[in-house]
Chains A and B, each alone.
Chain A
Amino acid sequence: MTEDDLHQMIGRVKRGALSRRGFVKRLAAVGLTAPMATQLLALHGISPASAQSVPAYRPTRRGGGGALKILYWQASTLPNPHFAVGTTNQDASRVFYEPLAGWAADGTLHPILAAEIPSVENKGLSEDGRSVTWKLKRGVKWHDGQDFSADDVVFNWEYAKNPAVAGVTSGSYTNINVRKIDDHTVRVEFERPNPFWADAFVASRGMIIPKHLFKDYAGANARDAPTNIRPVGTGAYRMTSFAPGDTLRAEANPAYHMENRPFFDTVEVKGGGDAVSAARAVLQTGDFDYAWNLQVEDEILKRLEAAGRGKVNIVEGGNIEFVQLNATDPNREVEGERSHISTQHPAFRDPAVRQAMAMLIDRNALEQFIYGRGGPATSNFLNNPPRFASPNTRWEFSIQKANEILDAAGWARGRDGIRTKDGVRLRFVFQTSVNAPRQRTQAIYKQAAQRAGVDLELKSVTASVFFSADIANPDTYTKLYADMQMYTTTMTQADPQLFMNQYVSWEISAKANNWQGRNIVRWRNEEYDRIFREAEGELDPVKRAALFIRMNDLIVGSNHVIPLVKRPLVSASLNSLNHVLSAWDNTFWLLGDWWRTT
């Protein structure tokens, strides 16, 4: 589909010749649907049809649904959305707090505290893409009876952007300006035309905390606010008790702003334990209604599912398990720093070696024997939303071809079977974190590589060390003091901009930035940098998607990054539970709409 086709189609939607749903469907058919599809329509003055993208809610009265019991194998510790480190705490916050809008599974915006989704049509979006005006829902009350208003929204912006608060949401609020128009209207203004306007006040980073309870704690004392652990929100459930690291309990909010909601009288989120027994407690014994994030071998899940009590839910997101081939030399020290950007990897600087390495990992085997439904093989680094997925990449597993490529490039086998050229041996240290599937992947890779005359030395580092930001430790993944490494990188937003900055040259991880740069593989490409800059300001969603696809093709084509498998979110629920899940938002993004069939 070309850009013109798309604009024609948007025109048809505008004239009413094509329904909005039909439009999204058509985009899906060509691999172009996304949360941004809605924004695409909105930018052209068509308001999103969000009501249909959430499954029907049937209960006809509030409450009476009994208890909803949810099991997390990680326990929440701090239910303040601005301090929510990790999904567990974000989810815990979402039980009580709500954003203006959330992302539905089909990538459309669903209004929560907003009266409507802004669009050019309803004058919510400015045509130059430099501001968005949110109309707030009226009659919304905090759990303590106070009114929710525009002041609260503005306060959240001031709170989150304050460096003294050190909130984890600050990234979404620092380069914007928020103005109160009246008690129920706020305008978000951007410095430059912003293609991804639905970030501040939306979804996991947009949950709104009450001004009247946090205003005295909006500085360096933010972490001392008593409300941090006794949340007062606008959500469908209000807190009854919270034991950090153990259980969170909530009861139905009798004054909730949505009709007939919530269905359940109480909600309990129990934390701790391990993923396998969490799956058991839902699928096998039915003690709990829902179990979160089941990173469990698919074989086990299938066996538990056979009990017939519950089902496994697979929700696709953007997380990906991948291998990095270091662009710099990890064994040479320059100015007290290994893997220094001024060096080149002696073997990986040869494209033939990288190409061969990409051919030596059997992604099919990974999907079939290790990850199952929890890890479909992929050849792209950027996989989701589907409209950003490149159709141009292929992956291939062929030891024979890898051998041919290396032979042709002049890497000859030595007496021990390991290839050498100009004194450089194809012997690589391959590191990853301690994690059963990763060690099995390492073993599969090593076996195949051996048959191509490449020797992999496997190294596994405890996760708490590998993923730490400890400057003194040489084994962290951001230092990459190894030839190659493997881990999962997460995509927390429906927009790929923050995800794809992992390969721009100004993000290179180095001593100078305490190894906090995002470009860990230390790959540099002028074209990539230029395209990324272009995408940052590109308002046309179609052109923008094309730019991201090009970025994906560049990095994957370099073979410095070898995508292995996608990591969708896997959870389990009882057959009778009707939940509303979404890959682009928190598990509890629409907890008020969960109900049980009796």
Chain B
Amino acid sequence: VTQYLLRRLIIAIPSLLGISVILFTVLALAPGDPFEELATNPAIPPEVRANLRASLGLDDPVHVRYFAWLTSMLRGEWGYSFVSRIPVDELIVQRLPTTIAVIGASQVVALAIALPVGIYAATRPYSIFDQIANTLAFVGFSLPTFFTGLLFILFFSIYLDWLPFVYRTDIEATGWNWWWQQLRQSIMPVMVLGLFQGAAWTRFVRSAVLDVIRLDHVTTARAKGIPERAVTMRHVVRNAMIPVVTLVALQMPAVFGGAIVTEQIFRVPGIGSLLISAILANDTPVIMAVTFVIAALVVFFNLLADVIYGWLDPRISYR
């Protein structure tokens, strides 16, 4: 397994390099300029703007900029944000706790819905429960998050006036009150994301379980007189989990990448909102860092998924 891991990690290096080249070129080709606001301001002499561009190396050719970025990245220097002149890693670290708390919680909610509902529905296909679960799942993933988000705000914040819809990182409270406030402000974004993800996963878990439940080894297990519960858990679910693990593992980078739309609606200062504001401000170092971290996470979680396969299904070997 160690050898396999090593090989996979070595293969990952060129693919990450390739990703970074593509990202950088696309960003360099994209229109816009971090100082466009200066362009419309009559009080700022054009020389100042030219000076600024030069001082940030924006006038250098693309490949020079790329290698400058790459070498400093290899030395562990992530560069500085053009707009706030703060090290990019500091910016990301600032956003990380909120992102993990909100997006992470929503993934947990999604799993907590998808697994039991999906499995239960699959064990009783076409029952009333299955029909209802299916319908709700369809509704759930057909409604985009920006729509459910606004709906939640209108209902819970405006109409009922129960929950705040502006997420604040600096709640002035301590102890239980702090947790209570935190819960109140997180519940809407978490549920919006969790329900959407959960609905999609429910359908997936259901079909994965349905595929396995018809197989011969399940019938054999039942014939041996093993209780239905044990059959489902040990012989069905474990096998059905292989495709689900892939899906969940690939979803994990999103925990760090944030959810751009939902973060914008609820003003959650996560990595998604950092990315979108960096894109709008043409803040290349921040865009590069965030997208590159996400790319690295995708590669890493893919590897992790492959390792978990082996544990779920010992027949899969690493060669």
User: Taking A85-B35, A498-B42 as contacts, is the C-beta distance between A245 and B49 under 8 angstroms?
Assistant: no
Q: In the complex, are the beta carbons of B42 and A243 less than 8 A apart? A: no
What is the CA–CA distance of A249 and B35 in the complex, to the nearest angstrom?
26
In the assembled complex, how far is the CB of residue A588 from the closest CB belonging to chain B, in whole angstroms?
19
Count residues on chain B whose CB falls below 8 Å from chain A CBs.
Answer: 51
Question: Is B233 an interface position by the 8 A CB rule?
Answer: no
Q: Are B44 and A229 in contact (CB under 8 A)?
A: no
Contact between A465 and B32 (Cβ–Cβ < 8 Å)? yes
For A171, the chain B residues whose CB sits under 8 A away are 43-45, 48
Is B46 a contact partner of A170 (Cβ separation < 8 A)? Answer: no
- Least CB distance, B181 to chain A, in whole angstroms: 12
Q: Separation in Å of the A303 CB from the closest CB of chain B?
A: 12
Q: Does B124 have its Cβ within 8 Å of any Cβ on chain A?
A: no
Q: A168-B44, A272-B269 are in contact. Are A469 and B81 (CB under 8 A)?
A: no
Binds B, one of A114-122, A320-328, A513-521: A513-521
Once the chains bind, are A71 and B166 in contact (CB under 8 Å)?
Answer: yes
Once A170-B48, A285-B161, A468-B32 are accepted as A-B contacts, the answer to whether A245 and B84 lie under 8 Å apart by CB is: yes
Whether the Cβ atoms of A223 and B166 lie closer than 8 Å is no
Asked whether, in the complex, the Cβ of B158 is within 8 Å of the Cβ of A270, the reply is: no
Bound-complex Cα distance A249 to B269 (A): 15
B47 & A163 in contact (Cβ 8 Å cutoff): yes
User: What is the 8 Å Cβ interface bit string for chain B, positions 29-54, against chain A (1 contact, 0 not)?
Assistant: 00111011111111111111111100
B85 within 8 Å of A (CB atoms): yes
In this complex, what residue of B is CB-closest to A205? B43
Question: Does residue B105 face the partner (Cβ distance < 8 Å to A)?
Answer: no
The answer to whether B166 and A470 have CB atoms under 8 Å apart is: no
Q: Which of A65-84 contact B (CB under 8 A)?
A: 67, 71, 75, 77-78, 83
Identify which of A272, A462, A469 contacts B33 (C-beta below 8 A): A469
Is A384's beta carbon under 8 Å from chain B? no
> Does any Cβ of B come within 8 Å of A558's Cβ?
no
Known: A280-B158, A467-B39. A272 touches B273 (CB 8 A): yes
Q: How far is the CA of A223 from the CA of B79 in the complex (A)?
A: 13
Q: A67-B172, A85-B38, A229-B85 are in contact. Are A464 and B273 (CB under 8 A)?
A: no
Interface residues on A, range: 35 or more
Q: Which of A2-10, A487-495, A560-568 contacts B (4 or more CB under 8 A)?
A: A487-495
- The answer to whether B274 has its CB under 8 Å from any CB of chain A is yes
Q: How far is the CA of A286 from the CA of B245 in the complex (A)?
A: 44
Q: How far is the CB of B303 from chain A (nearest CB, A)?
A: 32
Which residues of chain B are near A472, meaning CB under 8 Å?
31
Given contacts A168-B44, A241-B170, A492-B41, contact A272 B49 (CB under 8 A): no
Closest to A499 in B: B42
Q: Which of A78, A273, A468 contacts B36 (CB 8 A)?
A: A468
Residue of B50, B85, B168, B172 touching A270 (CB-CB under 8 A): B168
A166→B52 contact, CB < 8 A: yes
Question: Quick check: A501 and B49 within 8 Å, CB to CB?
Answer: no
CB–CB A468/B31 < 8 A: yes
User: Of the candidates A220, A468, A469, A493, which one forms a contact with B43 in the assembled complex, judged by CB atoms under 8 Å apart?
Assistant: A493
Contact with A along B41-72 (1 / 0, CB 8 A): 11111111111100100000000000000000
Interface 1/0 per residue, B241-273 and A, CB below 8 Å: 000000000000000000000001101010001
Nearest A-chain residue to B157, judged by Cβ: A285
Chain B residues, Cβ within 8 Å of A491: 42
Asked whether A78 lies within 8 Å of B85 as measured between CB atoms, the reply is yes
Known: A166-B52, A274-B264, A469-B33. A244 touches B84 (CB 8 A): yes
- Name the CB-closest residue of B to A491: B42
* Nearest CB in chain B: distance from A592 CB, A: 22
Tell me the A196-212 residues at the B interface (CB within 8 Å): 205
Q: Are B170 and A172 in contact (CB under 8 A)?
A: no
Question: Min CB distance, A28 to chain B, in Å?
Answer: 26
Please indicate the chain B residues that have their CB under 8 angstroms from the CB of A243 in the complex. 94, 169, 269
Query: Which residues of B271-295 are within 8 A (CB) of A?
Result: 273-274, 277, 280-282
- Assuming A77-B83, A513-B46, is B32 touching A464 (CB within 8 A)? yes
Q: Does A502 contact B (CB under 8 A)?
A: yes
Q: A163-B51, A171-B45 are in contact. Are A285 and B158 (CB under 8 A)?
A: yes
Q: Which of B40, B44, B48, B80 contacts A467 (CB 8 A)?
A: B40
Q: Who on chain A is nearest to B263 by CB? A: A272
CB-contacts of B201-236 with A (<8 A): none
Answer yes or no: A287 CB below 8 A from chain B CBs.
yes
Max count, chain A CB within 10 A of own CB: residue among B153, B165, B166 = B166
B23 part of interface (Cβ distance < 8 Å): no
Instruction: Decide yes or no: A77 and B48 within 8 Å by CB, A205-B43, A281-B166, A492-B41 being known contacts.
Output: no
Task: Determine the distance from Cα of A516 to Cα of B45 in the docked complex, in whole angstroms.
Answer: 9
Known contacts A78-B83, A245-B269: A86-B277 contact under CB 8 Å: no
The proximity string for A residues 223-263 relative to B, scoring 1 for CB distances below 8 Å and 0 otherwise, is 11000110000000000010111110100000000000000
Contact of A273 among B44, B86, B264, B282 (CB under 8 A): B264
8 Å CB contacts to A: which residues of B135-166? 153, 157-158, 161, 164-166
Which residues in A have their C-beta under 8 angstroms from that of B21? none
Using Cβ atoms and an 8 Å threshold, which residues of chain B touch A337?
A: none
Q: How far is the CB of B30 from chain A (nearest CB, A)?
A: 9
Q: How far is the CB of A236 from chain B (nearest CB, A)?
A: 20
Does A277 lie at the interface of the complex (its beta carbon under 8 Å from any beta carbon of B)?
Answer: yes
Q: Is B296 an interface residue (CB 8 A)?
A: no
Contact call B85/A223, Cβ cutoff below 8 A: yes
For residue A478, CB closer than 8 A to chain B, the reply is yes
Known pairs A77-B84, A85-B38 / 15 extra A-B pairs, C-beta < 8 Å = A67-B172, A166-B48, A168-B41, A168-B43, A171-B48, A224-B85, A247-B170, A272-B277, A281-B165, A464-B31, A467-B36, A469-B38, A469-B39, A502-B42, A514-B46
The chain A residues found within 8 Å of chain B, CB to CB, are 67, 71, 75, 77-78, 83, 85-86, 163-164, 166-168, 170-172, 174, 205, 220, 223-224, 228-229, 241, 243-247, 249, 266, 268, 270, 272-274, 277, 280-281, 284-285, 287-288, 462, 464-465, 467-470, 472-473, 475, 478, 489-493, 498-499, 501-502, 513-514, 516, 518
Rank and list the top 6 A-B pairs by shortest CB-CB distance, nearest first. Answer: A246-B269, A516-B46, A77-B84, A244-B84, A166-B51, A273-B267
What are 9 A-B pairs at a CB distance below 8 A? Answer: A223-B55, A241-B170, A244-B91, A244-B94, A245-B273, A246-B269, A272-B267, A465-B32, A475-B31
